[in-house]
Amino acid sequence: MTRSLVQRRRLLQGAAAALALPALAFADTPPARALRIGNQKGYLSLLKARGTLEKRLAPLNVSLKWTEFTAGPVQLEALNVGSIDFGDVGEAPPIFAQAAGAPLAYVAATVPRPRSEAVLVPKDSAIRSVADLRGRKIALNKGSNVHYFVVKLAEKNHIPYGELNLVYLAPADARAAFEKGSVDAWAIWDPFFAAAEKSLDAHVLADATGVVGNRAYYFSSLDYASKNADVIAIVIDELNAIDQWGTANRSALAGELAGLWGLPLPVVQSAIDRSAFGTGPITKAILGEQQQIADTFFDLKLIPKKIDVLQAAAAGTA
């Protein structure tokens, strides 16, 4: 074979290899995906600030979009219309969302945090025990986690629900009514709870210990969770990493959240000191807790129909 033919063959082989390289590189790159996160001012906001989730998802070719919301129900409305894929919420809003037909999937839950909600009374109140709540005006947010807490607290103390005088007020209005003496007690969660203790010298009549769990939840849609289980698993792992860091660094966590919430550090520190930490995947046992809330809300005619919470279980729920 002549030298010119050898050189020509080498040039052709080199050109073929060069043409193949982009195709090989393309084949090694996972298909592009997106994760649209709806976050309130909480742990998801801390995760966003750290930037670790972006780094974990980059090898999977997953892009992130963050949208901040003021409350869980608004996030769930965004999920229902297909605007977000992931968010954080308390116990009660998912019950209403599922009853309204939202394609909700529970994907993670915190450990129980019963000390983070309580029934408060003024420091000089004549109410000394839960039994004294009969007929008294109790302010609470209708259909919220504390609504369920008060129902179960009354049940535990043999107070018929009909003997509770519930006044439905949002937290800011409830605080004003409590401060003016327009209500006798206030069922509320942190950090509003801690703020009332610090600035109003409110007395804790009972917290949720031994009554209800008071978990927080992370949600997705059934469709997104079924197609992106690997992405969801990474988000849960990153959230739990913040939880574990918070356990060991409560003062630092309080400082970050105080800045995020615009609250005095002593208020946030009090809330963090009694909080419990840990986030993990959803189990059927945890969904059983949600079923109890759903059944209670149906009995109280807060939701229009009975729901099966297991229908909101993501694939692979143990």
Per-residue pLDDT tens over the stretch 237-255: 999 999 999 999 999 999 9
Instruction: Dig out the tokens for 88 from the structure.
Output: 């954080």
Position 262 pLDDT exceeds 60: yes
Instruction: Report the pLDDT value the prediction gives residue 194, as an integer from 0 to 100.
Output: 97
* Dist. CA 134–CA 194, nearest whole Å: 25
* Dist. CA 277–CA 279, nearest whole Å: 7
The pLDDT tens digits for 58-97 are: 999 999 999 998 888 888 999 999 999 999 999 999 999 9
Predicted TM-score (pTM) of this structure: 0.85
Mean pLDDT, the chain, whole residue set: 90
- Alpha-carbon radius of gyration of the chain: 25
Q: In percent, how much of the chain has pLDDT > 70?
A: 91
Q: Name residue 54's amino acid.
A: E
What domains are defined for the chain? 33-113+215-312 (3.40.190.10), 114-207 (3.40.190.10)
Position 28 pLDDT exceeds 90: no
* Dist. CA 247–CA 267, nearest whole Å: 18
Cβ neighbours of residue 229 closer than 8 Å, sequence gap 6 or more: 314, 315, 316
Q: What is the mean pLDDT of residues 3-13?
A: 50
